A and B are shown apart, each in its own frame.
Chain A
Amino acid sequence: MDFREGIEDPVEHVFNVFEAIRRWEARVNAYISLESPDLIVEEVERIARGINAGEKVGKLAGLLVSVKDNICTSFLPTTAGSRMLDPYIPPYDATVVKRLLEEDAIVVGKANLDEFAMGSTTELSAFGPTRNPWDLERVPGGSSGGSAASLAYGGSDLSLGSDTGGSARLPAAYTATVGLKPTYGLVSRYGLIPYGNSLEQISPMARSVRDVALLLDVIGGWDPLDATSLRVDKPRTFTTSKADPSKVTVCVVKELSEGAEDVIERAYWRILKKLESEGVELREEKLPVASKALPAYYTIAFAEAASNLARYDGVFYPTKGGGSTWEEEVELARMKGFGREVKKRILMGVYALSEGYRDEYYIAATKVRRVVRDEVSRISRSCIIASQVSPILPPRLGERLDDPLKLYAMDVYTVIANLAGAPALVQPIEFYNGLPIGIQWIGKPLGEGELVSLGLLVEELTGLAGVVAG
């Protein structure tokens, strides 16, 4: 964001971003749709005139934001990465988009994602996979892979992702960017195409902790249009200062610190030891229920998906079945419109909610969620929880697609925060053979400020704020 510091002209900045998109986009496929360059230039010229005239401009004036394509925009198609919604143009803007525009941000395009945000690699988009700018043979993580990739190659300044079980944080770790899943209810979900309502949050993403905080402050806060929105003041995390190490306690939870590849585990311990040498107190904790969090998470997510996706019936949305009766029309539209993973999750959700299986699956999973939430709340009252983000480095394209359980296992460390409704920040800590490695910090409800504060300290130690793939 150089121009905000007086180094770069806002119009020049826009052309630099355009140049990055021109260089990378054909290979990376971070965007499903892009805004017209003429409109963007027109808008940034208006903003530049305002800045030059000394007028008051918004907090995001002239910044280019990519918006995940499951967040509604009335001025660009919103497909959720699915043929079912191609080319759906919503009649309204999501609350978060309205708030961006009110602060003079410019939406540069809609970012690619796994269909309906169901995936961990961004290979399951109906519009083709997104590739990782740090290694084009590898995935950027998912489902907000388009958002993360656009940031990683400099094709946007800020991005909105969504996070149901790690969908903003896993891509952040795989692309050396920063992703924050807010406390459940802090950011409005009005206009987010639903997948797992009780788990998901729209999540700010950027190349630095400070930028993520800025974006959170703009999009967060109560929204009467979302019944699950918390009645709290707008967050004020941008002005948070770097943590004083002597006042920080980090809890190292055994179950969230083991099981990853050696290189990841070593990087994780290196940064924790570095923090300890700065004066941060490390404390050991246990979370035995963590081993059941993944199946509990997927059971709840599948059940909610089955319910949420029942609305796609070939009548109100673009994909039609061509059937001669209503029943046939619905069945054919859903056959044509949904990809394999989506169909599987719907069927699994119907199964988990069926009479006779409900107690064994759904009710059991909600009990586990309760325990996870209680335990995370207990631990995070007195410390920030350290956790790995992914058990593996970014996999190669296709490597994880054949086995659903391998795909789901990528979320093993991230689903905890969604089940608990707690905020979680992921930031880069190291590179191994050119591939980024991240760390996750889980806080107490509405503890975003503390996460930002610790994130700033870590950024100072790693020097990885603002890195862009070359």
Chain B
Amino acid sequence: MMECRYRSVVEKLASLAKIKLSGEEAETLCRDLERTAEFLRSVSEISKELDVNPLYYVWDEWGPLRGPGEPEAIDIADLNVHLKEGYVKVPWRGGRLEEA
């Protein structure tokens, strides 16, 4: 069987993603990745012709869909709900969120 030409790329990606792969697994993933990368690359062709800003606010053209009243400014949540004696409420520091 011919070795997958993406083998070194897969090894580099696995190292970046911190996943150890067995030899057989690396071979299968390599073949899958080669085909998948080819498929995904087709997007770059069309996008070259697109003169659009990829970033947008989802409802920018849809008027006041943000509910009754003015949108509230983003503020820091009430930390007391999430903290107990200055610590984040997690089970190993004393029970469920509701109980803490």
Contacts and interface: CB of A to CB of B under 8 A. Distances in A.
A268 interface: no
Given A232-B67, A404-B36, A368 B46 contact: yes
Given A74-B96, A364-B44, A367-B54, A346 B19 contact: yes
A464 interface: no
B33 A338 contact: no
B9 interface: yes
Contacts, number: 146
Interface string B1-35: 00000000110011011111110010011001101
B67 A230 contact: yes
Contact of B77 (A224, A343, A354, A446): A224
A450 to B, nearest CB: 15
A230 B50 CA distance: 29
Ordered nearest first, which 5 A-B pairs have the shortest CB separation? A366-B54, A364-B47, A231-B67, A331-B20, A335-B20
A296 B39 CA distance: 10
B21 A343 contact: yes
B97 A334 contact: no
Interface residues of B, number: 50
Nearest to A403: B35
Nearest to A341: B32
Nearest to B71: A231
B100 to A, nearest CB: 9
A205 B58 CA distance: 25
Nearest to B48: A364
Interface in B53-76: 53-56, 58-59, 61-62, 65-68, 71-72
**Which secondary structure dominates chain B's binding surface?**
loop
A contact patch SS: helix
A259 B40 CA distance: 20
Given A360-B44, A405-B35, A405-B39, A347 B18 contact: no
Given A91-B91, A232-B67, A299-B43, A348 B18 contact: no
B25 A340 contact: yes
Contacts of B42: 292, 295
A332 interface: yes
Contacts of B37: 348, 351
Given A299-B40, A351-B37, 6 more contacts: A230-B67, A338-B19, A343-B17, A343-B25, A346-B19, A364-B48
Contact of B43 (A233, A343, A365, A370): A365
Interface in A296-337: 296, 298-299, 302, 306, 310, 313, 327, 330-332, 334-335
